[in-house]
Structure 1
């Protein structure tokens, strides 16, 4: 026995040594192939979970999402759906006999509801709706399902389109979205109708009442005019609970989300990005009101310094659980109704991603993000986290991963600013490193603990090439209190760009960053910031502007979302006595003649959020002024690129640009066939 034990230890040591020897830097393909977990759903008995695992299929040139199942104890992990079609929104029927999900199979023109027996067997299509189905819920008795779908075009409208008589009125050719129900015998019934759209909804615990968010239209910009209503499950008995007209100062933009009816049906909670006076542009807060609309709205998180995300009731209605954005992390909190006490439940150098609460067993299921793992499922009960899934455990064994820290510095006006820094795995404090500064999108967002799988940042690839990466949570970021968030109100670039540069100077003073090898990049609002900084300073040797705005005046009309601009600049650019000077003074295009930094410009061909015309304006201005530049437009892509080869190309072309202008060395492209 001793002989075998010695041999076992010998081979174990060989394996350990081998794993250390083959540990390598992460390639672009490695990074783009990391799977992700979403849509956690708990079985009625609380013993099993469904979830979506999204994996990269390079032959199909896209990511594909399938349904997986695992026991709560982490055993019996198995894949339930297969093929090249995506599935989403997996749900257990309340009696545990069925699993529903959304899919668009080969014979489907639109996404439809499919169901399959929970104990195994083939799935079958339940709906045959003329428009795409979304937002599915089961009734508590498991006899029917609810969903939302846009109204179909009439036969006359379809006939005109088929005959190429298809001239359409811009932003008026939409169809309203409404609530439907269907039973397992495929009998459909429309629950709501009228000249409005149901954006989201939530059933009461007994299934008799439904909280719906009504919007004037399904257009993105109109979602910020939504109201909360209560209706019976047959569409009758409407009660309007909120009214945006209560305050003229809000300009009818009090967007409310996540309405949840209390277990006793007497109150409704929701979140809204307003303060106690219902004034707009604040961190998301938690509110409560009576379900009969008889009382004023009660702000539950008045003095809470962070932003409230998703929230759910306990089974007895005595508490509300929610996830809070705390700047550099997402953590789980609870609010006690009787005592009005707020308690933080989770903590640590991680962030919560997905979250699902099971009130029957008073148990939470979350994805936990760390720098070594982008998010496995954990259970959380009685103060303890327990890992359930293990899809990405091998990352820390296979790859050299960066060290991540939260750092803070003083902004130009003395306000404390926070950010994330990533060091190469072999970081030597005696050396200075080339610095990549990445600014996040939103800008109502923040960078947090954990490995991000965004193809716009690809941090592990950069650190593998011995770049240090800084992600500043500049003025306008969420999770740092209302004053910090509202640092952009009245002027987008009053302090935000100075916050970024103060962070850069902090790293230079610490001997971390080499001031002669600095790079600026960002996507969306991160692209806006890149465009500003290249006009503000020539200290960056290379830059990449991804889907960034350069002209706030033209951007207002081009984008499909405008609601934030009014707060930033003091109104629209078209109103009487319009604040045109504010718009123009904060447009990077105004100072474009200052730019010397070689700058890539990258955008999706069909981006509705930051349309390609903004990138064209930037490119033509840089080209006219003889600044080294290229404009790359990805066909078929919108704001979030979906094709893997496009993502690969973007990263390659940026790394080549950075190597040429910041490092003065060649770069070898990585290809995936």
Structure 2
């Protein structure tokens, strides 16, 4: 079996990724994936600590996504933030003791970068202005990504809200725009003497790098169908997902390999489930003589008598959506709008 693997993070010989809204771990060389979480809410944006001992992630156990931390090998997760605003884990500080995340807490629009001790406590908003991503050089330089959202959702966009890179090479607070190519940038990573990022200026999103000056642009991955997405690094390798698969780019060897994941899951989310129909009721129509009712629930049409008999489903059971289901005047036939043929029709 295979799954849809996304939002990976890497440290040493371990990759953690998201699938079925839970966190899973697999060795870098591939193999059997092991589930780390089985939470009530969705988990996302995992980030392994620099020593590989801890795992920070965004969890939705109690409403909006908040910052959680757990042992990288699995175990109980601890909630660290209570800001009531969706978060995305960006990474860890260079000291390995603080989690960096983006959040719009207390703000009306774009998120800022926040720093939080892995032990908990009061989060600190960093003074870099609106940003989605941040990374640091070994000498104290800073690079931030503003509006660096997922370009795979808006391919080859070049408008006013395209992702931007800003760099402070000396760490003195003097930022300059970094635009080595005309593109929509995302996930900047400062590794050694180069800045790595995802760009789609050649058509499909791939990983590129340049010097802090913006010169010497180099391409490192060669995806030609699906965008490189949600790249993350441990300083030696970059992990990302393209389509439903995981890939690792080795900086030293200049090689790119797919991670062969052996995914063993009970597929709970694909199993049949029974929901409260009244909570998903979209519309209803009484029969002309009042003996029955036509209802649309979760895009499916049903009819049922007032007091007796079973509830009957009409139309295709799967793969089609229906709306505006109505009785005809004879009380025996129904008319509805369906997209079963590929386009909506009566």
CA distance in 2, matches of 1:129, 1:192: 16
Among candidates 11, 16, 28, match of residue 72 of structure 1: 28
Question: Alpha carbons of 1:53 and 1:654: their partners in 2 closer, same or farther (altered >3 Å)?
Answer: same
Comparing 83-92 with 650-659, greater Cα deviation is found at 650-659
Q: Which runs of 5+ in 2 are unaligned?
A: 148-158, 264-295, 300-315, 323-336
CA distance in 2, matches of 1:298, 1:176: 20
Among candidates 654, 658, 663, match of residue 339 of structure 2: 654
Residue by residue, what CA displacement relative to the aligned partner does 1:570-594 show, whole Å, maximum 9, x if unpaired? Answer: xxxxxxxxxxxxxxxxxxxxxxxxx
**What is the Cα deviation at residue 359 of structure 1?**
6.0
In the other structure, the counterpart of 1:144 is 98
In the other structure, the counterpart of 1:188 is 122
In the other structure, the counterpart of 1:94 is 50
CA distance in 1, matches of 2:214, 2:132: 30
Contact 2:100 2:114 in 1 (8 A): yes
Question: Alpha carbons of 1:256 and 1:211: their partners in 2 closer, same or farther (altered >3 Å)?
Answer: farther
1:204 aligns with 2:136: yes
1:367 aligns with 2:241: yes
**What is the Cα deviation at residue 654 of structure 1?**
1.9
Aligned to 1:182, the other structure's residue is in SS state: strand
In the other structure, the counterpart of 1:259 is 165
**What is the Cα deviation at residue 377 of structure 1?**
1.1
Question: Alpha carbons of 1:150 and 1:384: their partners in 2 closer, same or farther (altered >3 Å)?
Answer: closer
Residue by residue, what CA displacement relative to the aligned partner does 1:328-368 show, whole Å, maximum 9, x if unpaired? Answer: x434444456894444444475334325253632x333334
**What is the Cα deviation at residue 326 of structure 1?**
3.2
Contact 1:69 1:79 in 2 (8 A): yes
In the other structure, the counterpart of 1:387 is 258
CA distance in 2, matches of 1:149, 1:311: 16
In the other structure, the counterpart of 2:205 is 330
The aligned runs of 1:82-161 (5 Å cut-off) are 82-105=38-61, 108-151=62-105
Question: Alpha carbons of 1:150 and 1:343: their partners in 2 closer, same or farther (altered >3 Å)?
Answer: closer
CA distance in 2, matches of 1:81, 1:214: 31
Contact 1:314 1:359 in 2 (8 A): no
**What is the Cα deviation at residue 388 of structure 1?**
1.1
Question: Alpha carbons of 1:127 and 1:48: their partners in 2 closer, same or farther (altered >3 Å)?
Answer: same
CA distance in 1, matches of 2:214, 2:126: 38
The aligned runs of 1:247-326 (5 Å cut-off) are 254-255=160-161, 257=163, 259=165, 261=167, 265-266=169-170, 292-293=174-175, 299-301=179-181, 307-310=183-186, 312-313=188-189, 315-318=191-194, 320-326=196-202
CA distance in 1, matches of 2:214, 2:102: 37
- The TM-score normalised by the length of structure 1 is 0.34
In the other structure, the counterpart of 1:480 is none
CA distance in 2, matches of 1:209, 1:384: 27
CA distance in 2, matches of 1:197, 1:94: 25
Aligned to 2:238, the other structure's residue is in SS state: strand
Aligned to 2:134, the other structure's residue is in SS state: strand
Aligned to 1:119, the other structure's residue is in SS state: coil
1:48 aligns with 2:21: no
CA distance in 2, matches of 1:214, 1:330: 18
**What is the Cα deviation at residue 653 of structure 1?**
2.8
CA distance in 2, matches of 1:655, 1:40: 36
In the other structure, the counterpart of 1:528 is none
- The TM-score normalised by the length of structure 2 is 0.61
Contact 2:240 2:247 in 1 (8 A): yes
Contact 1:353 1:367 in 2 (8 A): yes
Aligned residue pair count: 272
- Over the aligned positions, Cα root-mean-square deviation in angstroms equals 4.5
**Which of the two has higher C-alpha Rg?**
1
CA distance in 2, matches of 1:331, 1:308: 11
Q: Which runs of 5+ in 1 are unaligned?
A: 1-32, 55-64, 153-172, 216-252, 268-289, 369-373, 393-631, 636-644, 662-673
Question: Alpha carbons of 1:324 and 1:634: their partners in 2 closer, same or farther (altered >3 Å)?
Answer: same
In the other structure, the counterpart of 1:358 is 233
Aligned to 1:191, the other structure's residue is in SS state: strand
Question: Alpha carbons of 1:261 and 1:70: their partners in 2 closer, same or farther (altered >3 Å)?
Answer: farther
Contact 1:180 1:188 in 2 (8 A): no
Q: Compare the two structures and name the one with the higher helix fraction.
A: 1
Question: Alpha carbons of 1:68 and 1:341: their partners in 2 closer, same or farther (altered >3 Å)?
Answer: same
CA distance in 1, matches of 2:144, 2:190: 20
CA distance in 1, matches of 2:195, 2:141: 21
Question: Alpha carbons of 1:124 and 1:208: their partners in 2 closer, same or farther (altered >3 Å)?
Answer: same
CA distance in 1, matches of 2:223, 2:115: 43
